[in-house]
Structure 1
Amino acid sequence: MTGLLVGAIFGAVFIVVNAQSPLNAVAVNFLRVAAFLGAASVVAMWFATARKDRKEQPTAGPRRNMFGRGYLIIVAAEVILLFGGVRVLTAWERPEQTNVAWVAFVVGVHFVALAPVWKDWSIAVPGVVLTLLGAAGLVLASTTAVAWVPLVSGVLSGVVLLTGTATFGWRTVTARTA
């Protein structure tokens, strides 16, 4: 559930930061409120699961370390690609909107790379979608539709992250109560 919590928070941030013009104010406010509510639901599921885990911990077997060496290598590469890529895009004088597309692309690739490390191929699905949304934004950034990059690569990526984390969180909570 901790990974889902992180994904939900980043999904909400993607939406809140990138919900902007050319969307109208009503759509922007709706998206931001929905992002907050989506993240809050995952936070609530996280607390419910953490409380239940604490009660059941003495009978639980050894836990798998999700944040081991493979994870650390992937996250280090992600940080280098994120910050290095943004600097390269700036040096190439690409529009500022290109940055959000690059972030979505790298975050998507990071999920795909984590799938075999975590032996959980379900994480590759949002990874592929984020990678595609990032790639679409990189293409859009080179067109007159550059103003739509934050929606395509930012807001839609956030929606994917929030929907995925809420869905998997709900499955986890309901499976434990069944």
Structure 2
Amino acid sequence: MTTAQRRTQPSGIVVGSMVAITFGAVFVLVNSAGLPGAWPLVIRAAGLVVAVMLLVGLVLVVRQAPPAAFAPAPGYLNRRYWLILALEAVALFGGLAVINNVLHRTAVSVAWVALVVGVHFFGLAWIWRMPLYHWLGAAMTLLGLAGFLVYALGGTAATVGLVAGVGSGVALYAAVGAALRDALRGRDPVAT
């Protein structure tokens, strides 16, 4: 697919943005729960405001695209995509089973999720030729590793959740924001 075709086919950015906004919100809402005081409420409110702002940006991208631009996103029909998703699911659920049921370290579950999801973005970046996903993959992988490090240094489950979980939500939001910014400016959002 050429750069010009990508600019005129926002279906991929719509699907990808919706998935990232949804999972970003889940990361933020779920992983801020264990924080003390009013912090969970503040972080959740901020996370929801950002999600709504990103949805508004997505609507603007959809409105500026010509109606004929909404062809199905071909990347989701690719066998390599489904292979990456299958490997991600095996690593995710297999690792969580070991972490939770064998090692009994539930505090680092979110760090594992961030790490696996981060690594899967490298595969998606490769098959879809999306440099933005390399950045997102690196950020989430590092946040997952940081969550493990926080725990190893004596950090609480709430701190691990803040670093690896809320941090991953912020990374997902930032990736959507960057893609939408580029789309609204008429630049190829996947080349970022």
Length-normalised TM-score, structure 1: 0.86
Equivalent pairs: percent with the same residue?
33
Aligned length: 172
Aligned twin of 2:17? 4
User: How far does the alpha carbon of each residue in 1:71-122 deviate from its partner, in whole angstroms, 9 at most, with x for none?
Assistant: 1111111111111110011233332121100000001001111111001112
1:37 is aligned with what amino acid? Answer: V
Structure 2: state its 5+ residue gaps: 1-12, 188-192
Specify which structure has the bigger relative contact order, considering alpha-carbon pairs within 8 angstroms and separated by 6 or more residues.
1
Counterpart CA distance in 2 for 1:127 and 1:36 is: 23
Aligned twin of 1:66? 75
1:64, distance to aligned residue in structure 2 (A): 6.0
Aligned twin of 1:35? 47
Say if 2:37 is the partner of 1:24: yes
Counterpart CA distance in 2 for 1:5 and 1:166 is: 12
Structure 1: state its 5+ residue gaps: none
Aligned twin of 1:88? 98
Whether the 8 Å CA contact 1:12–1:158 is kept in 2: the answer is: yes
Task: Answer with 87-96 or 11-20: which moved more.
Answer: 87-96
1:13 is aligned with what amino acid? Answer: V
1:129 to 139, 151, 167: 139
Label 1:35 to 1:62 Cα distance change in 2 as closer, same or farther (>3 A).
Answer: closer
1:135 is aligned with what amino acid? Answer: L
1:50 to 62, 65, 74: 62
